[in-house]
Amino acid sequence: ISCVTNNDCPNAFSCKNNYCQYPTYYCLGHDSCIEENKSNDVLYSIQDNTQPEINELNHINTNSYIIIESCHPNNYKCYTRPCFKDSDCFSNNCEVESRRCLINKEFPIYSCINKEKGGMICGKYLEEECTDDNDCLTQQCDTQLHICKKFNKDDITIVDDNSFNNNIKNEKEQMKEKELNDKENVDSAIIFKEVLILIFIIIPVFVLTQYLKSTKYVKNIKRNRKIFEYKKVLVEDLSNC
């Protein structure tokens, strides 16, 4: 939408280079859409005041951890923020083994963003399948993998993703550290359990067994001594006869 002042841009951030600057939009297929609020990193469902009952049903308000980015399953070098279930991903497709969100081939993600020189550009989001450049938000379709590649930085406003990648790496390192700590805790619990079993079961059983054996041994000695004494007396009696 062309503009002269900010007042010419309803529901927009501002007027820039005679074009209204709108939030970044993400749509799953052509139905479920959300907008990005960069001031607090919260995603909101797009509102339609003419159909409030639909907004109530499809509201995604204050869902701050939904993972927008997704990977093509054939691109093994691609990773996202870690997911644990389908609902963690905007594509509703989590590869639990690798903990990354995958594209949903039935419902590709489309996005619309502001161009640096004004206006907006829309198209399939990164890693979505494409046949030519015009399919992609970035205007770049990989000729080998047939997926949308990264932006051409000359014409499109993008956020430096170094911090994003660092956050992903930090999250992965934290997850590995947590898994290691959990494993150590489990090992410690197993060792503690084995020590308790040793103290309260194995050692008492061993002591009791040894006690019973020694008691039986003593009884046998006493029994043998009585038999010996009986035989001795019997022999002496016979001798006297």
Cα-based torsion angle of the residue sequence 9, 12, 14, 17 in order, rounded to the nearest 10 degrees: -70
pTM here?
0.53
3-state secondary structure of 152: coil
pLDDT greater than 90 at residue 232: no
Question: DSSP 3-state helix, strand, coil percentages of the chain (rounded to 5)?
Answer: 40, 20, 40
Assigned token pair, 31: 């139905």
Q: pLDDT band at residue 225, thresholds of 50, 70 and 90?
A: low
Q: Is the pLDDT of residue 132 over 90?
A: yes
Q: Is the pLDDT of residue 77 over 60?
A: yes
Domain boundaries, the chain: 6-157
Cα–Cα distance for residue pair 130/138, rounded to 1 Å: 11
Stretch 163-177: mean pLDDT: 55
Helix runs in 42-152, H state only? 52-58
